[in-house]
Amino acid sequence: MAATRKKQLECDVLFEHQDLLALTLAHPQPRKQPQSRTLKDGTRLTLIDSGILAIEPLRPGDSDIVLSCGVHGNETAPIELVNDLVNAIISGELVCRQRLLVQLGNTEAMVKGTRGVQENMNRLFSGAHARGESNPEKARAALLEQTVRDFYNQSGRKRFHYDLHTAIRDSQREKFAVYPYRPGRAWSIEQIRFLAGCGVETILLSHSPTTTYSYYSSNEFGADAFTVELGKVYPFGQNEMSRFEACRKQLSRLIAAQPLEYPPLAQSVVFDVCQVVNKHHEGFRFSFDDAQANFSEYPPGTLLAQDGDTEVRVGAVAESIVFPNAKVALGQRALLTVVPTAIDDRFE
């Protein structure tokens, strides 16, 4: 009886005090069973598990939208942004007219204020969580995947997944998105303009499979999916939320099935991912300063990194660095390089 009462209280924190984030930080561990409530307008909210909430209007529009954040637990701005959207829906300020799945990713890392606990969760998707010894992060990645799979349960509907992040380092381009490899499918001009409407005007086209979350939804379910970098990491409460206003408004329009903001295509800058540099030796080091900003550009032939006996150099044209991190585990990606590209017949 007492346990039932306690569970009811936890649920009420969300539905009456209207805060998914507070509830998740107080109870980051797996929940025993889903709990549902219905809003006055008939919208059904189902707390599927800790930090995982499905919002289903009585008569949804044509889109199934996944918004994930906190896959890296210390990337707080997107978590606060998504939580604000959920609060607005619960309070009735924002009317949800599409099926929506919200996920606060790495709950344990969020509580600790760290990027991960044992590993980088954004390398655990497309089944990578099943390799090697199990741990709470792998279990969580499997759960996130499963809830996305359950959510995309009807064919013929539009599928979107925006996996929201902030970067560890400064960036010459504050906001950017990685567009996962999608063999056989053209890149979407509409999506590039949609992201520009979120304030994300730089797009990186990926050309190889990976174990990131956005690639999972793109590859397995044909979703328009992106890893979206919205700025720099700060602790909870220290984000200047005005910097995310364009994104919040555009996502609100998407959820509410209202006309979207589509800036002219010329506003966006697109890069091809050129080199994916994985670390193979413990002594891996960059030849540039550790604090170098994302999108710093280097001329042809420049030595970028030394990995054992292998030298990583810029090729025949100038390349810019993105996500350099010499501290990754062996076998993981230590650097991407990108080169500007045109919006050509690969797009439609």
CB of 113 to Zn ion, least distance (A): 14
DSSP secondary structure code for residue 329 in this structure: P
CB of 24 to Zn ion, least distance (A): 17
* Contact status: 72 vs Zn ion (CB under 5 A): yes
319 a catalytic residue: no
Q: Could you tell me how many residues of this chain bind Zn ion (CB under 5 A)?
A: 3
User: Do the beta carbons of residue 71 and residue 212 sit within 8 Å?
Assistant: no
* Contact status: 165 vs Zn ion (CB under 5 A): yes
- Residue given tokens 């170098």 in the structure block: 292
Sole window of 72-80, 81-89, 184-192, 244-252 interacting with Zn ion (rule: CB under 5 A): 72-80
**348 in a labelled binding site:** no
Taking the C-alpha atoms of residue 232 and residue 226, their distance in angstroms, rounded to an integer, is 18
Which position among 229, 240, 245, 282 bears the catalytic label?
Answer: 229
* Contact status: 175 vs Zn ion (CB under 5 A): no
**165 in a labelled binding site:** yes
> Which two tokens mark 172?
């010459």
DSSP class per residue in 79-136? HHHHHHHHHHHHHTSS---SEEEEEE--HHHHHHTSS-SSS-GGGSTTTGGGSSS--H
| Residue number, 126 or 214, with CB nearest to Zn ion | 214
| Residue number, 69 or 246, with CB nearest to Zn ion | 69
Taking the C-alpha atoms of residue 125 and residue 209, their distance in angstroms, rounded to an integer, is 11
Taking the C-alpha atoms of residue 36 and residue 45, their distance in angstroms, rounded to an integer, is 5
| Residue number, 302 or 325, with CB nearest to Zn ion | 325
**220 in a labelled binding site:** no
Taking the C-alpha atoms of residue 232 and residue 174, their distance in angstroms, rounded to an integer, is 8
Known binding site: residues? 72, 75, 165
Q: Which residues are known to be catalytic?
A: 229
Binding-site residues for Zn(2+) sit at 72, 75, 165
- Given the rule CB under 5 A, which residues bind Zn ion? 72, 75, 165
